[in-house]
Amino acid sequence: MKLALNGASTMKADLETDLRAAQLAGFDFVEIWAAKLRDFLLTRSTSDLRNLFVQYGLKPLSINSIEHITFRTSAAYERIKIECENLSLLAAQVECPYIVVVPGKVSDGGPTRERIIEESVRVLRELAMISGRHGVALAFEFLGQPDCSVQTLGLANNIVNEVARDNVGLVIDSFHFYAGGSTLEMISEVDANRLFIFHINDAEDLPRKQLEDRHRLLPGTGILPLKQMLTAFNRIGYDSVASVEIFRPEYWERDPIKFAQQCKVAVQALL
């Protein structure tokens, strides 16, 4: 697999530092954290960013992310569509193929599975029309936390298959895969061509319902079944990109150059 560094892993570093850290560590791609992109564009242009990717010998993988796209008020959803338009334009300008999109939250006793599928399909089709005008695809990332409307790979895969658009596919994040109770058998049902991004990370040994992003760890240092997941990916023919995404505040305090190198060593040991 090719390797990517996600800007969430180095949250306190700016975008150019992410590129330099990724280049020095030997990554192939960078996932652009959207807030860092906006900060970059306060003083520089998308042309500058495109040139920096060339300078550092890297490629952009995604802009990460548009949050909580479903089950929004009408006004909030209009803002989501505007954000999709703006980020799609920026992605096209820097030759970035994907925008990560995340399903909305629900409360206990919320919508049925059928209603979740209906809402998710409708929104993804509408946003895919917007991004598609710019030649950009949407990577749909289910979250394993209890308040997310789409918690498992099985449900996310059903939704993406029903959307049936070439520019809509999946993100599988190993943390969310485990936290939400997804199974290796669910991977076997995925079309590798619909799996756009694999976020690789590890987690502390806690009950699934207690796991939060701050409990993520470097790949290979926790309890997630990463080797089994990689074997399952191999069986369906997925051998594209593994992107290191770790939302651990403790890691954000480390030197981003050195930490990117630690990420690369950790993930390579598993591949």
- Residue 95: inside a domain: yes
Is the entire prediction scored with pTM above 0.85? yes
- Residue 46: inside a domain: no
- Amino acid 208 reads R
Q: Is the pLDDT of residue 55 over 90?
A: yes
Task: State the CATH number of the domain containing residue 136.
Answer: 3.20.20.150
Compute the residue count for the chain.
Answer: 271
| Residue pair 29/243 in contact by the 8 Å Cβ criterion | yes
**138: containing domain:** 32-38+58-240
Who has greater pLDDT, 108 or 204?
A: 204
pLDDT, the chain, mean: 97
| Residue pair 192/221 in contact by the 8 Å Cβ criterion | no
- For tokens 């993804």, what's the residue? 124
* Measured CA angle at 121 (ends 240, 158), to 5 deg: 55
Q: How many domains does the chain have?
A: 1
- Alpha-helical (H) ranges within the chain are 15-25, 34-40, 46-56, 74-93, 113-132, 153-163, 174-179, 184-188, 226-236, 249-252, 256-268
**Per-residue pLDDT reduced to its tens digit, 103-161:** 999 988 889 999 999 999 999 999 999 999 999 999 999 999 999 999 999 999 999 99
- Residue 115: inside a domain: yes
- Cα 217 to Cα 158: distance, rounded to the nearest angstrom: 29
- Cα 218 to Cα 214: distance, rounded to the nearest angstrom: 12
- Amino acid 120 reads S
